[in-house]
Amino acid sequence: MGFNFRGAWSIYQRELMRAFRTAFQSLIAPVITTSLYFIVFGSAIGSRMEPIGGVEYAAFIIPGLLMLTLLGETTSNSSFGIYMPRFTGTIYELLSAPVGVAETLIGFVGAAATKSLILAAVILGTATLFVDYEIKYPLFAFGFIMLVAASFSLFGFILGVWADSFEKLGIIPVLILTPLTFLGGTFYSLEMLPAPWDKIALANPIAFLVSGLRWTFYGTADVSIGVSLGLTLGFLAVCTAVITFIFKTGWRLRE
């Protein structure tokens, strides 16, 4: 059986429409949150901060805030998208449909990537109301955002399959991803940390994502962009392998 374009497109449309039905949670809430961050950190605190690496503090935190929102929203949306069909039993419609792993992943990841790009555009548009900034490498920024969105969409998919309750569904995004993003250089450069915390901070994988996105904006980063890109691609490959295993074995999908 060849690739089922219609099946992939149907999954993509369903997931995208679900996001639009929850527009307040998916788009409005991140705008309000981002605005509050800029008011508190960008204006109140940023006005007392020296430029970091030649970048004004309010502009310096933009990539970190963008990554903070992207990771949380992409993971939550993707996990909820597969958890609800399992919860209601409609997952069997997907399993019995003439679609394979590739079509399913393309549908889910494509929708998550589209939502992430819309969300990124909204956040960046909101940022212009508070600070002037320029993206030094816009094509690299676009590609990196897409890569991160795809990776954490797959990760969210795995989380949605693993979770057997709404409580478990929120554990990873709220108790792990958000704290790690805050500790990953969202509001500061890792070089500002005293020894040995500057080295310990590099054990946080989210620090490489924030650093990679910041490089696409300003050409400076705490770690090499090659390392950030390599780790992100590796994470994408691992998540793809895990989901392939899930579909081949039916782990927690047919329970």
In the predicted model, is pLDDT for residue 66 greater than 90? Answer: yes
| The predicted structure's pLDDT at residue 49 | 83
> Residue 219 pLDDT more than 90?
yes
Assigned domain for 67 exists: yes
Residue 174's domain comprises 5-249
In the chain, how many domains are there? 1
Strand partners, 55: 52
Round to whole Å and give the CA distance between 121 and 17: 18
Mean pLDDT value of segment 138-158: 92
Give the type of residue at 118: I
Residue 211 placed within a domain: yes
Q: Is residue 174 part of a domain?
A: yes
Residues 164-180: tens digit of each pLDDT: 888 888 888 888 998 99
Is residue 246 scored above 70 in pLDDT? yes
Q: Residue 13 domain-assigned? A: yes
Report, as an integer, the average pLDDT of 9-23: 81
pLDDT at 2 over 90: no
pLDDT of residue 241 exceeding 90, the answer is: yes
Nearest CA to 240 among 155, 137, 166?
155
- Tell me, yes or no, whether 254 lies in a domain: no
Residue 52's beta-bridge partner residues? 55
> Is residue 255 assigned to a domain?
no
SS3 label, residue 193: coil
Q: How confident is the model at residue 155 (pLDDT cuts 50, 70, 90)?
A: very high
Asked if residue 56 is part of any domain, the answer here is: yes
Residue 102 has pLDDT above 80, yes or no: yes
Which comes out higher in pLDDT, residue 20 or 233?
233
What value does the mean pLDDT of the chain take? 87
- State pTM to two decimals: 0.90
